[in-house]
Amino acid sequence: MKKLNILLLFLLSFFTINLSANDGSSPLTANFTVGNPAIQSMNSIAFGPEGILFVGDSKSAMITAIDTKDNTEAKAPKSINLKKVDEQIAALLGTTADQIKIQDMAINPISKMIYLAVHHSNGTPVLMKSDGETISHVPLTEVNHSNIGLNNPIAADAKDRRGRSMRNAAISDLNYHDGKVMVSGLSNEAFASTFRSIPFPFHKDQMHTSLEIYHAAHGKYETHAPIKTFLPIDINGKTNLVAGYTCTPLVVFPMDELKAGTHTKGNTVAELGNWNTPLDIIQMEKEGKSYLLMANSSRAVMKIKVDDIANFNAFLTERVAERSGTAGIEFINLPFANVQQLAKLSDTQFLMLQRKANGDLDLFTQNNRWL
């Protein structure tokens, strides 16, 4: 009888495993559930593998992974030139362009579909997508999803010295890299600027470390300003975070120094000029050379050679006294102002969301000739 029971258990396990293997599910989405993820805000979005979209929700201090089921392989369009994007989105939502704000943009690397995180003035977050020709709404009421709450996020009622809410900075940017969701933002701890690394699929583990940088425009070390935009890149064979901060230091953090429960000082490699906020950063390559492109709130898109970062050792530790002065590694201002979002479309193309001189908000491609 004992042998029979063991045999029955073996057969049951065998059929269960095979049923799971043949039902089309993926190990990455095995713990997902179908329903409304109840996303309260969309501060940042990024794609991971298999068409999974990660949504950073500062209001609820939550990261949500959404199985978009948008995983049909496609080539990047030769060009995109989508006019008056904000007006098109507003029309779909039954409102006007001044009542919406595009928070972030991400491109599905599989389907090349463009996803836009939008906030309505009534507080409703909305997800839109585009094939480069038309824009459509992505309903989030019944989606396959998984989520995880952040440990020790900045308090919902926290305010800065001007009385403004700081909760929006609980999640300032996110990226997926090497099986982990990387998140920048503010915590409720004494050194508030925080970097988190959360293994995916989600479980209880999440590493977080507090950050410190030298802010050359301010002439002091700081621990309370969050990273505004960051990108994991390879420098001299090791993974590093290149991070842009408001006003505008560019800082490098070696990934092997970002360890759970530690306090980490970054290496400031540039001061790119104050009275400015970095909005987006991407990496492009041409003829074996790698470049960073960074969009800014009050400056043109900047081009930075990764080799210059790799070879720079004289990290900034002294104040840049001249107003809007710069220091550290060199950069080139490209002839693109008022660019609100950047995203890599292919090995040779990138996508820009730009407010044109005539007031239109257009979405269009550029190629690596600018590199």
In a domain, 12, yes or no: no
Those residues of the chain that have pLDDT short of 70 are: 1-24
Handedness of CA 259, 46, 78, 72 (dihedral sign): positive
In a domain, 166, yes or no: no
Distance of CA 296 to the CA centre of its chain: 15
How buried is 205 (Cβ within 10 angstroms: 0-12 exposed, 13-18 middle, 19+ buried)?
exposed
Give the three-state DSSP class for 348.
coil
- Are 242 and 282 in contact by the 8 Å Cβ rule? The answer is no
- Are 235 and 269 in contact by the 8 Å Cβ rule? The answer is no
In a domain, 24, yes or no: no
Give the three-state DSSP class for 85.
helix
pLDDT at 204: 82
pLDDT one-digit tens code per residue, 49-60: 999 999 999 999
What does the radius of gyration of the chain's CA atoms come to, in whole angstroms?
Answer: 22
Query: Apex CA 159: angle with CA 43 and CA 340, to 5°?
Result: 30
pLDDT at 23: 46
Domain that holds residue 277: 178-334
* Residues with Cβ within 8 Å of residue 133, at least 6 apart in sequence: 82
pLDDT one-digit tens code per residue, 142-158: 999 999 999 999 999 99
Peptide bond into 201 cis (omega under 30): yes
Q: How many structural domains compose the chain?
A: 1
In a domain, 36, yes or no: no
* Residues with Cβ within 8 Å of residue 162, at least 6 apart in sequence: none
- Are 119 and 57 in contact by the 8 Å Cβ rule? The answer is no
In a domain, 290, yes or no: yes
pLDDT at 305: 98
In a domain, 360, yes or no: no
pLDDT at 21: 34
Measured CA to CA, the distance from residue 158 to residue 142 in angstroms comes to 33
- Are 223 and 209 in contact by the 8 Å Cβ rule? The answer is no
